[in-house]
Amino acid sequence: MKQTQPGASTQTPAPARSSFFSTQPSRADHFTESVIREMTRLAIAHNAINLAQGFPDFPCPGELKTAACTALHADLNQYAITWGATDLREAIAARVAHYNGMHFSPETEITVTCGSTEAMMASMLAIIHPGDEVIVPEPFYENYGPDAQISGAVPRYVPIRDDLAIDEEAWKAAITKKSRAIILNSPNNPTGKVFSKAELAFIADLCIDHDVVAITDEIYEHILYDGRQHISIGSFDGMDDRTITIGSFSKTYSVTGWRVGYALADEQLTARIRKIHDFLTVGAPAPLQRACVAALALPETYYRDLAADYDRKRKILFNGLRRAGFACQLPEGAYYLFTDIANFGMSDTAFARFLVEKIGVAAVPGSSFYHDGGETRLRFTFSKKDETLLDACNRLAKLNEMGSAS
């Protein structure tokens, strides 16, 4: 703090403040802190139910905990191989062959990362030359904006429409000679859209025709509703050497704090990703990598139960939100409800603040998912215990009483 002490001339003057921060621009100047994470801090401060940040408040499968404890007791405390423990890469290769229909060499085509967050950042740093353009469907998971800024990419946004359709002409128009990558996220956060086979085929053709890489974040691949199937764009003909598929243990096994994810790509892409990953983080936590091998040994019924549990949760929150006056649709996948709040007559940020302070429920302002717009939206997650969701619905019902009292 600046020292101003009139009359204190006998004191040594305070050293001049460095002008560094006012004169030196930084890439960190171009984006704000995560609003999703900020809402979690606000939820804690106001003792509100956190339906903002997408993490479960229920336990992970016991098999994972047992395996993590065993790994720690076995003193698996030192670095794993930089690009992932061998047994984990082998288990990922087997699982992806079975579920996604894609074949990756554990030796040369799989990189275990600190969550999908690092996988996305490392992928962009690996392929973006500053000034390159990336196509980003909007609304988008908020990390992709800063990811683009940090890597020097120029984002070009293409809309996911309110009816969840994509506008093919807008996608074609967004491609230029500078286009380097398309960022995909299916099932999608925040809209819940699951890209159809025809839409993915269209995007794959765009990538092939214009020599563009698809970076596809498939973290919600097991959270699908109403019989939908997951399709990886990397499994399309001609996409194997131009797709980076990102996955994670966070959502599928309810361990978001473990920070274990992965990037799958052909050998040449992987060689670049691994170099970036190595110098960013060295590696993901070794004992938890061992526990993730146990996760991949869970039976198929685990995945069916996970989807069925989330189906029940989405209906609980959907009904509660509708009763409280929110306009929303049931999502096709992932674990968010992206609501329309236009009839409440408040901006997204003002309404989010009101909800956390006065109603006791935290949500994410819609504008966090747009480069421009989203002020009539709020995102709620239903990755919570049924009782947590029911409690939140009861609190939200107060909105009706307030409305009818006025």
Look up residue 196 and give its amino acid.
Answer: S
- Which is closer to ligand GLN, CB of 52 or CB of 341? 52
- Which is closer to ligand GLN, CB of 289 or CB of 383? 383
Q: Which two tokens stand for residue 314?
A: 């989405």
- Which is closer to ligand GLN, CB of 131 or CB of 257? 257
From residue 124 to residue 153, what is the string marking binding to ligand GLN with x (rule CB under 6 A)?
-----------------x------------
* Shortest Cβ 250–ligand GLN spacing (Å): 8
Cβ neighbourhood burial of 303 (10 Å; 0-12, 13-18, 19+): middle
- Which is closer to ligand GLN, CB of 50 or CB of 179? 50
* Shortest Cβ 58–ligand GLN spacing (Å): 16
From 54, 56, 187, 192, residue interacting with ligand GLN (rule: CB under 6 A) = 54
- Which is closer to ligand GLN, CB of 35 or CB of 153? 35
* Shortest Cβ 332–ligand GLN spacing (Å): 17
CA distance linking residue 92 with residue 189, whole number of Å: 23
* Shortest Cβ 362–ligand GLN spacing (Å): 11
Question: Is residue 252 a contact residue for ligand GLN (CB under 6 A)?
Answer: no
* Shortest Cβ 115–ligand GLN spacing (Å): 7
From 35, 36, 110, 136, residue interacting with ligand GLN (rule: CB under 6 A) = 36
- Which is closer to ligand GLN, CB of 113 or CB of 270? 113
- Which is closer to ligand GLN, CB of 250 or CB of 289? 250
* Shortest Cβ 230–ligand GLN spacing (Å): 17
Binding residues for ligand GLN restricted to 161-200, rule: CB under 6 A:
189
* Shortest Cβ 37–ligand GLN spacing (Å): 5
**SS3 letters for the chain?**
CCCCCCCCCCCCCCCCCCCHHHHCCCHHHHCCCCHHHHHHHHHHHCCCEECCCCCCCCCCCHHHHHHHHHHHHCCCCCCCCCCCCHHHHHHHHHHHHHHCCCCCCCCCCEEEECHHHHHHHHHHHHHCCCCCEEEEEECCCCCHHHHHHHHCCEEEEEEECCCCCECHHHHHHHCCCCEEEEEEECCCCCCCCCCCHHHHHHHHHHHHHHCCEEEEECCCCCCECCCCCCCCHHHCCCCCCCEEEEEECCCCCCCCCCCCEEEECCHHHHHHHHHHHHHHHCCCCHHHHHHHHHHCCCCHHHHHHHHHHHHHHHHHHHHHHHHCCCECCCCCECCEEEEECHHHCCCHHHHHHHHHHHHCEECEEHHHHCCCCCCCEEEEECCCCHHHHHHHHHHHHHHHHHHHHC
Is residue 367 within 8 Å of 354, Cβ to Cβ? Answer: no
* Shortest Cβ 36–ligand GLN spacing (Å): 5
- Which is closer to ligand GLN, CB of 179 or CB of 388? 388
Size of the site for ligand GLN (CB under 6 A): 6
- Which is closer to ligand GLN, CB of 189 or CB of 388? 189
From 37, 98, 323, 385, residue interacting with ligand GLN (rule: CB under 6 A) = 37
- Which is closer to ligand GLN, CB of 189 or CB of 367? 189
* Shortest Cβ 105–ligand GLN spacing (Å): 29
Beta partners for residue 339, in sequence order: 378
* Shortest Cβ 53–ligand GLN spacing (Å): 4
- Which is closer to ligand GLN, CB of 84 or CB of 115? 115
DSSP β-ladder status, 243-248 and 213-217: parallel
CA distances from 319 to 313, 326, 330, 394, 397 (A): 10, 10, 10, 11, 11
Which residue lies nearest ligand GLN, judged by its C-beta? 54
* Shortest Cβ 205–ligand GLN spacing (Å): 29
CA distance linking residue 255 with residue 331, whole number of Å: 22
- Interface residues with ligand GLN (CB under 6 A)? 36-37, 53-54, 141, 189
